[in-house]
Structure formats: C-alpha cells, structure tokens
Amino acid sequence: MNSTIETILNRKSQRVYADRIITDEEKELIIRCAMRAPTAGNMMLYSILEVADQKKKERLVVTCDNQPFIAKAPFVLIFLADMQRWYDYYNISGVPELCSKNSREFEQPAEADFMLASCDALIAAQTAVIAAESLGVGSCYIGDIMENYEIHREMFDPPDLVFPVTMLCFGHMTEHGRNLSITPRFPEKSIYSKDSYQRLNAEDFEEMFSERAKSLIKSGNFLGEAENVGQHFYLKKTGSDFFAEMRRSVKVALNAWKGKS
Ligand SMILES: Cc1cc2nc3c(=O)[nH]c(=O)nc-3n(C[C@H](O)[C@H](O)[C@H](O)COP(=O)(O)O)c2cc1C
C-alpha cells in the first residue's frame, strides 16, 4: 500500500459537495495533472472546457437527464474529444495543398479519430479525478453530456470536430461523502482473463451477480415488467429513454464529425 493506491481504492463518486470554493490553485493543479495524462502520439486530441456560468450549469441539470447536483458543483469541467485543433492546423499548414501536389488523399476524420480522441479525453478526465481526490476534492462523471448534442452545441459552440465525451463535477468532500462505503465491483474472475477472451456462461453470471444483486433480489423491487436482475438492468440502463437519446445524439455527432451533417 502507498498513498496513491489508497486514494484509488477508496475513491467514491461524490454527488454532494461542501459549501466551499475550489481555489484557483486547486483548479490549476487538477488541470495541470489532466494535461500530464498519456495522450495518443502526444497529440492531445482533447480540450477541457470549464462551465463557470451558473445559468449554464442549471441548464445542464435538465439536458443531462435531470441531475440537480450539477448546479451545486463548484467546479465543472467538460472533456471534449477534439480533432478540430489539428485539422485547423493542417489546413493552415498547407497540408491539403501538399497532398494534392503529391497526388495523395487528404484524409478526413472518421470513426477511428473519434475513438482515439475520445480515449484521450477520457484518460485526461480520469487523471483529473485522481488528482482531485488526492486534494480532498470529490468528483462525479456525467455521461449524459453525450446526449442532446444539438443543445450542447448551441450552449458551448464547439465546431464539427469537437465532441463532449464526458463531464466532471468537482467539489470538496463532505464528512458524509468521505464516509460513504465503496461501491461493489464484479469479481475479478468475470473481468480479467489471460491470453484469450473468456466468454461467460449462465453459471459464471450467477457468480458475477451474486454480491451485486443480493438486495435487489431480496426486495424483488424490479423495474416495470422485469422478472430478474438482467431484465431489471436492461430496462434501467441499456433499454432506457436516456440511453436511446444518447445513441441518437452520438450518431448525429459522429455524422457531423465525418462531414455528413
Ligand atoms: C462514463 C461515466 C458516466 C457516468 N455518468 C454518471 C451520471 O451521469 N450521473 C451520476 O450520478 N453518476 C455517473 N457516473 C458515476 C457512476 O455511477 C459511478 O462511477 C458508479 O456507480 C460506481 O460508483 P463509484 O464511482 O462511487 O465507485 C458515471 C461514471 C462514468 C465512468
């Protein structure tokens, strides 16, 4: 054990924040650490946008699936997958002319660039989470920032090659937050394998969900017409309205990214 491992193993998402500002020094450190994250080809295919305007935070509460704690977070960062910076630079640098002079295709951003830039943005975000945690500043991801592409575009004005892949709410931890229990994880056996992918069977799933689903099974409090844990999770997550909106929104964003909007 060392303090880094302890910080990682004890981290919990924080959705309630102490009534205390995040100082400029703390903000600067969190952003500096995020920018030290590994990045594909050292290209830094991401941007970080702070949402400081309280009215925008309040709008995000609604556009991100009605999550009121967003408006109460003293520090909110959006991490954007960003190829625009490089393509602007390529254009300014005469890359299209170079390509045409040499009869080469000037490659346009596609799905792979979207994936790679999203990886970069997320790795920077998680580095910010751990840096903040080490300063006593809790955080919570908001994946719903991928929804409502058109509204978020109108709010923040990103060009076609910039996509908000995640958002983080930060705030100093409360005593209550500090004492929250860590959330369960699946057994390592269901997640980790060596040398070849291990597909799970019904028995493995039984073991995988045994801890996680105990209280749900006991209460029988399944959503809607669900009769078991798998059906419950499908209705709650993968088959939910918010997930449908996320699929729609990301499809529109990817089309814009590929120049098909
Ligand atoms: C990509 C991503 C998106 C998430 N989106 C949300 C969200 O919109 N709202 C929320 O309250 N938590 C969100 N979370 C936090 C998860 O719910 C949380 O990490 C999970 O329940 C495990 O809890 P823990 O972080 O305390 O271990 C998100 C986490 C990730 C990694």
pLDDT tens, position by position, 96-117: 999 999 999 999 999 999 999 9
* The total number of structural domains that make up the chain: 1
Query: What is the whole-number distance in angstroms between the Cα of residue 83 and the centre of ligand 1?
Result: 26
Tell me the residue range of the domain where 161 lies: 3-183
CB atoms within 10 A of CB 46: 28
The domain that holds 51 is classified in CATH as 3.40.109.10
Q: Give domain status of residue 190, yes or no.
A: no
Residue whose tokens read 């981290």: 11
In this prediction, residue 188 carries a pLDDT of 95
Q: Give domain status of residue 150, yes or no.
A: yes
CB atoms within 10 A of CB 52: 10
Give the pair of three-digit tokens for residue 221.
């409090």
Ligand 1, pocket residues at CB < 6 Å:
12-13, 15, 67, 140-144, 166, 183
Residue type, 260: K
Residue type, 102: N
Look over the chain and give the mean of its residue pLDDT values, rounded to a whole number: 96
- The region of weakest confidence among 2-6, 127-131, 229-233 is 229-233
Q: Give domain status of residue 56, yes or no.
A: yes
pLDDT at residue 212 greater than cutoff 80: no
Strand pairing class (46-50; 75-82): antiparallel
Q: Give domain status of residue 227, yes or no.
A: no
Strand pairing class (162-172; 75-82): antiparallel
Give the pair of three-digit tokens for residue 191.
């997640």
Predicted TM-score (pTM) of this structure = 0.97
What H or E segment, with its residue span, contains residue 141?
Answer: strand 137-142
Q: Give domain status of residue 59, yes or no.
A: yes
Query: What is the whole-number distance in angstroms between the Cα of residue 197 and the centre of ligand 1?
Result: 26
Atom of ligand 1 nearest to the CA of 166: 1
Q: Give domain status of residue 192, yes or no.
A: no
pLDDT tens, position by position, 112-125: 999 999 999 999 99
